[in-house]
Amino acid sequence: MQQCMSPERFARIQQVLSQRQHDLTLLMEEVHKPHNVSAIIRTADAVGIHQVHAVWAGNPELRKGTALGSQIWVRNKHHDTTADAVSHLKSQGMQVLVTHLDNTAVDFRQVDYTKPTAIIMGQEKDGATEEAVELADQSIVVPMIGMVQSLNVSVAAATVLYEAQRQRSDAGMYGKGKIPEIEKQEILFEGGFPVLYQECLRRNLPIPHIDDSGCIDAPEVWWQALQYSQ
């Protein structure tokens, strides 16, 4: 038995994966409204971010991913605390920025986003916590010349991310994404065969190999196990 995704679908997924930026990411610190979270993740996908990070100590639905919608294209990593998250990001050699208005804040366009970068987006009402501001390397602001003092968090995230995308595109940093083969295979299978992927999860079956033609390369016993419930 053989199943293949269309050549167009296979080529599209491979193209998307080649554009992924492993050293550009966001940290959502208690951003709790599902529509904002979904909008941020959608923008992250649009600019080529491979993984976003989040601290959702008080929102079990978001921690479970039940309010996020599709997570195929952007991976989500949860952290128990802001300190844990920032420590993890800095251990990867990232400069950590936080959107926050203070005496040290700079215009977001003055930052070099071609460096490995993580951007903290704070909670909708109160913004980033004092802990996040203290742990970050630099505060950044989106200049406001109207009556309102701040943008919606998802709009602010999009504004900053597209500046990062512009800088990285100008520097030729797209089209060179390298995803570990195991993770690439999972994304190809989940994105190309979503129904079969869910069945594999439900029945605890291993992720099959996707060959160079976009076809499932699995032994007969795997197909048999897929056909019959355990």
pLDDT digits (tens, 9 = 90+) for 22-56: 999 999 999 988 899 999 999 999 999 999 999 98
Residue 165: predicted pLDDT: 98
Which domains does the chain carry? 13-170 (3.40.1280.10), 181-227 (no CATH)
As a whole number of angstroms, the distance between CA 126 and CA 124 comes to 6
Residue 67: predicted pLDDT: 46
Binned at pLDDT 50, 70 and 90, residue 230 comes out as: very low
Instruction: Name 43's Cβ contacts closer than 8 Å, sequence gap at least 6.
Output: 154, 157, 158, 161
Which residues are annotated binding-site positions for S-adenosyl-L-methionine?
A: 99, 142, 151
Average pLDDT, integer, range 194-208: 92
As a whole number of angstroms, the distance between CA 136 and CA 83 comes to 10
As a whole number of angstroms, the distance between CA 211 and CA 217 comes to 6
Specify the length of the chain in residues: 230
pTM for the model: 0.87
pLDDT digits (tens, 9 = 90+) for 152-187: 999 999 999 999 999 999 999 999 877 889 989 999
Instruction: Name 55's Cβ contacts closer than 8 Å, sequence gap at least 6.
Output: 27, 28, 29, 30, 78, 79, 80, 81, 82, 84, 85
Q: What residues form DSSP beta bridges with 5?
A: none
Residue 94 or residue 65, greater confidence: 94
Written as one string, the DSSP assignment of 18-35 is HT-BTTEEEEEES---HH
Residue 229: predicted pLDDT: 53
